[in-house]
Amino acid sequence: MYGGVAIAIVYHMNYLMKQGNRFNYFYGWNCVCETLQTPGESYRMFRMESHAVLQLIETLINKGWLHPSKDMKALEAVALFLWTCAHNETNRNVQNKYEKSAETVRRKFGEVLDSLCLLANEIVKASDFQYVEVPSKIKNDRRYWPYFQGCIGAIDGSHVLAIPPVNDQIRFIGRKGYPTLNVMLVCNFDMLFTFVVVGWPGTTHDTPYLFNCA
């Protein structure tokens, strides 16, 4: 008897006592528009100026890599992605900030990430794969020419916060004292990235990077 009552209560709670949607689907859009229109606020929130965010949106849409949906406009999806990365936010905080469901946040974040990866394949590359031309910054500067005539750019590394599985955290904890990814980047003399490697654990020394990427 008690088992039947318990089943009836669970059924009633799950299927009969339904609450209305607690999310306001216009709140996130209004928040994004206000941020982009307020001087300086876009850089603080998204780490990009307003014109750069809008140009990025236009590029992704024109190339057919990002599309709006009934849940979210393309601009709001990119803003959500940028805010999450800029402030290392959790899915829960993004839900509360933009008043979207967890599934929508997860799906839209993934869509923007995929589109940016496609964009990276187009723009993170050398303009001259044969490196025949000597950069003007070297050729026209007596301090560097002819001493650096074979130089094609600058190389450096950085550590990015990572959240690896608990049983695999040790090899990601380097000199920073917390789990990171060791990132290597190459930049040319026009301040454009030409090569990026991401994914090595934080304990990795620079030497394996150079040997594996040579």
Is residue 146 reached through a cis peptide bond, with omega within 30 degrees of 0 on the bond before it? yes
Residue 171 DSSP code: G
Residue 203 phi/psi, 5-degree rounding, is: -80, -10
The 180-187 sheet, strands edge to edge:
154-161, 180-187, 193-201
Rounded to whole angstroms, the Cα distance separating 57 from 75 reads: 6
Give residue 56's pLDDT. Answer: 95
Backbone angle region of 166, left / alpha / beta, with phi > 0 → left and psi within -120 to 50 → alpha: alpha
Report CA 86 to chain centroid distance, whole Å.
8
Domain edges within the chain: 2-123, 136-213
Question: In the structure encoding, which two tokens stand for residue 120, read together?
Answer: 């990276």
Give residue 3's pLDDT. Answer: 54
Q: Which residues of the chain have pLDDT under 50?
A: 2, 17-22
Residue 162 DSSP code: -
Give residue 182's pLDDT. Answer: 87
Q: Residue written as tokens 């014109």?
A: 51
pLDDT tens across 156-190, in order?
Answer: 888 888 888 888 888 899 887 889 988 888 898 88
Give residue 151's pLDDT. Answer: 87
Give residue 168's pLDDT. Answer: 87
Give residue 19's pLDDT. Answer: 44
Give residue 7's pLDDT. Answer: 61
Rounded to whole angstroms, the Cα distance separating 98 from 37 reads: 17
